[in-house]
Structures are given as structure tokens and as C-alpha cells.
Chain A
Amino acid sequence: MMDLLNILLSDSFWAASLRIATPLIFGVLGALICERSGVLNLGIEGIFVVGAMCGWMAVWLGASLWGGVLAAALAGAAFGFLHALLTVPLGLSQHVSGLGITLFATSASYFTYRTALPNVSSPPRIEPFQPLDIPVLSDLPVLGPVLFQQTALTWLALGMVGLVWFVLDRTALGVALKAVGDNPDSVDAQGLSVYGLRIGAIVAGSSLMALGGAFLTMSAFDAFFFGMVNGRGWVCIALVIFASWRPGKALLGAILFGAFDALQVRLQTEMGALVPGQVFLMAPYILSITALVIAARSADYPRALLTPWFKGQR
């Protein structure tokens, strides 16, 4: 028990939690924006892969780190646009289109990586984002190590939470976006474009998802591996429901998930002799399912989620 308390009270534990949460914050926000507009984006897992690959490859080819971030966001936007075309004007199955985007984005990334680097045994490395060592602030007790020794991408993720909250709750655009996910007919009646709002939301959300992937290759690690996304995208889809489509709760959910993941790594080293390590590896996925089961009934679903809308009908 003392051990657990020691872990939970340590700076490094909370610093790790925030680090692990960062890609999920991007992913949950991205999924949240898409779903608030009424469209489920199961392309998320593949868009993570694209973001991870493109961000890394841009830097490896000589771009700056922020150039890599931009490349990842643009690539994510492109695949999001494809999903938007299929699901919004064509009104096709959001489930199947999303899975198709995931398969397409993943295989395109893997093929590109393999073609660019046919014969490498160990993946080439880049110089990733470094922790921001802000003088004075990073020497603060507790807050210093937890907040002020993260990389710039973690700060970007936290900033995005504020931005998405502000746009959704405080701007006319946000009101229109939420309305298009609840009642597209009313938005159309006001002369706004349902298609435009939904396509825009999916493109913006998808570029955020890609930043989650980019964090993996440009901050958490310094190289691209096959299978490195490892279900993080799907976890985000579960976390959005847990967060009831609210940015603040999404941040909370991602950090709780990150804390749980950081805890299992530490418990694994302490209790490794008693329990097989895989039990701990399973824990985050089981936690996601549990969160989903708890939240599902009371969740406040966008009312038009999964329902296609066609102009001039109904």
C-alpha cells in the first residue's frame, strides 16, 4: 500500500501520465469534433498511423520538426476529406467507410515506408522534440516536473483542449457545429450548409488525430515502427463516449487513462514476479471497455450521429 501511495505522489508518475495522455488528447478531441457534427470517424486508427509516418518522414527528409507536424496534419486532413466525401454527400455507411479509411491509410503508410526504406534492419532515427526546460518554472515543486518539462506537442494538445472548448461553447461556429450533429434540418433551414459544416469538422478532426500519431514518432519515440499505434485510436473512440462529447471531460478521461497506463508499468516492475506481465498490458484495453459500459447508457449522444442527411429530402 505504501508503495502505491509513493507512486501516486511522485512527480515522475504524473509527468509520465500526461506524456502517455498526449496522443489520446489529440485523438479524443479529433473524434469529438467529427462526432459532434454527426459523423463517426473510425478512420482514426489509420489516421494515427499516417500522422506518425508522415511527421517522422518529413523530418527524416530534412524538414524542421514543426514542418513535420504540419505534414502530419495535412496528411490527416487529406484522409479525413476522403472519409467526409464518402459519408457526407454520398451518405455511405460511416462504420464501413471508417474501417476502409483505416485499412487504406495504414497500408498506404506501410507501403510508403517500405518503399522509401527497403533494406533497413533498425529504423532510422530523427532528433525528436525535447522537453521544454523553462527557467524558473520547471524548478517549481511538483508543477515544474509535471507540466514544464513536457515537449511542445503536449502543450499544443493542452492548448487544443481550450481552443476546441472555446469554439464549441463560445462561438457561432460551435453552435452551428453542434446543431448539425443534433438536427441538420434546422441548420439547413437557417441557410447554413450541412455538407460544408460536416466536411469541415471531419477534416479538422482528422488533422488533430494525425497530430496524435505524430506525437508518437516525434516526441514519445524518435522512429517509426509497424504496429506502433497499437489500438490507441480505438481507445479514443471509447473515451469520447466516456467524455460525453465534452472537451474538458475528454482531457480528464485521457489523463485518467494515461495515469492508469503509467501505473500499470510501475506495478509491473514491482509485482512482475507474481503476475504475468501481459495482465498489465491488457489492463488499458479492459479499462476502456469498462469505461464504455459504465458511460454508454447515460451518454448524451449527438442525436444525428450515424444518420446521413441529403439536401432536398425529407
Chain B
Amino acid sequence: MIRIEPRDTPSRAFALGVPLLSALVALGFAAIPLLAAGANPIAAYGAMFKGVFGSVFAFTEMLTRATPLIFTGLAAALAFRAKLWNIGGEGQLYLGAMAAVAIGAGALDIPGIFLVPLIVVMGAAAGAVGMAAPTYLRVKFGADEVVTTLLLNFIILILVQMMLEGPLQDPMGLGWPQSAPILDQGMLPKLMDRMRLHSGFILALILAIVAQFMLIRSVWGFKLRAVGENVAAARHAGINVNRSFFGVAAISGALAGLAGVSEVAGLKGYLTADLSPGFGYTGIVVAMLAGLSPIGVVLAALFIASVFVGADGMSRAMGVSSFLADLVVSVSLLCVLVGGFFAKFRVVLAGKGEVAQ
């Protein structure tokens, strides 16, 4: 007879070991599709490793890829801590990106010292509004925010296409559905010569540290965690639950919006409807791998960015589809879920004679 018992205290070793082990298991699991695709897994892993650590350029590319994932990962981690299910990171990212090009692509020709902060703040605000709306629908009407944020992702992406064929279209773009480029002084400064890595990465790191501090040390963070643990108890303790929801919704949306700002004003320079290959959704995996810890988000984002950049390199070298990276990422999410179970519970094998309760 198998019995499941809760552990008295969740195992600390598990809490740290589970994400690491999940990542390794997911990478190991990738051997199956690699073999199915006719590739030698050892050589493929080698190619992936080289694709990330093979040169300074490759490494900075990984950091560049991690940047939006830190933002969207933080967005998911903070909201999930309050059990507010923000699955709309993808849409909020595009809202931030739209705000960035609406302001930065020629509408305001002001010095960079004013323009860059304005783009960042307005992009964050656009994302915040994008999450405040579904939160309002939940608080006021009880409409499940999982479904509304998911559906909003599709609405916002169509809105982006509409804007790129309308008001935001580049007049010099020969009719392509893309925005005008952000003015040079509005771009986030690059960190290194001849590399694409930009200061959005530094901003992401700073925000991760701030978020960690706020979550663990501030009264705001304490209330947020209390709401996430037990809404009824939090309300009983006199916490204004709705204010906590709106607060974390705004911050979560703002962070996802910053992912869009950073991609447009740090990397691409202009907006297209394929700006994000699902950074919003991957951010959820990042947050879960991080155990919803903001500092953990940075590490998880670096891992997942490595998988994506490495798989791109491997795909070029060996002709295996780079969808492999998405497989590894999704399997690592499922593994970390199962691992989380074993951190909280232990499985007891009771003897045959013993009567199960």
C-alpha cells in the first residue's frame, strides 16, 4: 500500500534541488526526440553548449535572449505569489512595445535623457493597464482572469497588426506592416561594442533585486504573500485584498510591458507583429522554475535562454528542428511541478499487514 504524507517542513534541499534536477531531466529527455530525428544526442548537446559558450558573441546573445524572459518571468512570479493568474504576459509585452514606438518613433523629438525614461515609463504603464483591466473584471464580476488574460493576448496581437497597418505604420516602410524606427536617442544604450546586448539587461537585473527585496522585506510584500496564502485569512486580518490585487496586477503588467519596451527600444528598433516568440508564455515557465522567487527568475531565465540560443545553434549545425527548445522548456515545467510535490510530501510504502487508513 502506498501512502502519501505531508512533510512537517517542506524540504529545503528539495526546494533548491528540484529546479536544478528538473532542468537536467528535461535536457536528458530531449535525447528521445533527438534520436527520433536521427541525430546523435551527445553531438547535439555539444553543439548546443557551443552555441551558448562557444564565443563571447554567443554568450552575449544568450544574455540578450534572457532579458525579456527576466521581465516576463518576474511578471508571472509576483502575480502568482498573490495567486493572481496573469497568463497575459504576451499581450502586455505587446502593449509596452506599442507604447514605446508610439512615443519614441518620431512623435517626440526630445533629447535622449528625457526620451528614454519616458519610453520606459509609458511602456510600463501600458502593460500595467493591460493587467489592471482583467483584474477589474475578476474583482467586480468574478470573471476568471486566466481566461480573460489568455483571450486578451489574441485581441492585443490583432490590435498590433491593426496599428501596424494604420497609425503606427512606417510611412517610409514600403507598405510593410512594421512601425517607424525608434529615434537614435530613444534607444537603450548598448553594453558592448559590436554586440547586441543592451542596458535592458541591467534594468532587468536591478528590478529582480528590487522585487526580491520588496517581496521578502516590505509590508507590501508581506500583504501580497498573505493574500496568496489565504484570501479569507488575509481579509480577516484587515488587509485590503482588492488593493493588493490591483497593486500586484499593475506591477506584473508593467514588468511584462517592460519586456516589450526592452525588445523594441533595446534590440529591434522597430515593432513588428512577430516581435515576441512567446516570451510572455515562457515567462510562466521561468517563474515556476524559479519557485516564484525573483532572484531565482534571473537564474531560470539564463537557463531557458541558453536552451533557446543553444538549440538555434544546434539546429543550424545538425539540421534538427529548433522546436526542440520548446520541448525542453515545457518538459522542465512539468518536471518542476512533479518535483515540487516531492518537496511537500513524502511517499510511504506501508507493509502488507498494516491496515491503510
Contact = CB atoms under 8 A, between A and B. Distances in A.
Interface of A: 42, 82, 86, 90-93, 95-97, 99-101, 103-104, 106-108, 110-111, 114-115, 118, 230-231, 234-235, 237-238, 241, 276, 278-279, 281-282, 285-286, 288-289, 292-293, 296-297, 310, 312
Contacts of A286: 155
Main secondary structure of the interface of B (DSSP, over half): helix
B191 interface: no
Given A238-B151, A286-B155, A289-B151, A107 B327 contact: yes
Contacts of A296: 141-144
B162 A111 contact: no
A96 B288 contact: yes
B323 A86 contact: no
A95 B323 contact: no
Interface stretch (B51-59, B202-210, B329-337): B329-337
Contacts of A111: 33, 321, 323-324, 326-327
A238 B147 contact: yes
Given A104-B330, A231-B150, A279 B162 contact: yes
B338 interface: yes
A230 B141 contact: no
A278 B159 contact: yes
Interface residues of B, number: 49
Given A110-B323, A118-B321, A312-B357, A86 B338 contact: yes
Given A285-B155, A289-B148, A310-B4, A99 B284 contact: yes
Contacts of A115: 33, 36-37, 320-321
Contacts of B141: 293, 296-297
Contacts of A90: 338, 341
B49 interface: no
B110 interface: no
Contact of A276 (B85, B154, B166): B166
Nearest to A115: B37
B237 interface: no
Contacts of B19: none
A291 B146 CA distance: 15
B319 interface: yes
Nearest to B327: A107
Contacts of A93: 337
A312 to B, nearest CB: 5
Interface string B101-139: 000000000000000000000000000000000000100
A288 B151 contact: yes
A103 B159 contact: no
Contact of B158 (A234, A282, A297, A310): A282
Contact of A99 (B87, B154, B331, B341): B87
A237 B149 CA distance: 12
Interface of B: 3-4, 33, 36-37, 85, 87, 137, 141-144, 146-148, 150-155, 158-159, 161-162, 165-166, 281, 284-285, 288, 319-321, 323-324, 326-327, 329-331, 333-334, 337-338, 340-341, 356-357
A150 to B, nearest CB: 27
Nearest to A279: B162
B154 A114 contact: no
A286 to B, nearest CB: 6
A42 B143 contact: no
Contacts of B37: 115
Nearest to B161: A278
Contact of B356 (A241, A288, A312): A312
Across the A-B interface, the 9 shortest Cβ-Cβ residue pairs: A107-B326, A103-B330, A114-B321, A278-B162, A104-B330, A111-B323, A296-B142, A100-B333, A296-B143
B143 A289 contact: yes
Nearest to B38: A115
B341 A92 contact: yes
Given A107-B327, A297-B141, 11 more contacts: A42-B146, A95-B85, A97-B337, A100-B330, A107-B326, A115-B321, A234-B154, A276-B162, A292-B144, A293-B143, A296-B141
Contacts of A237: 146-147, 150
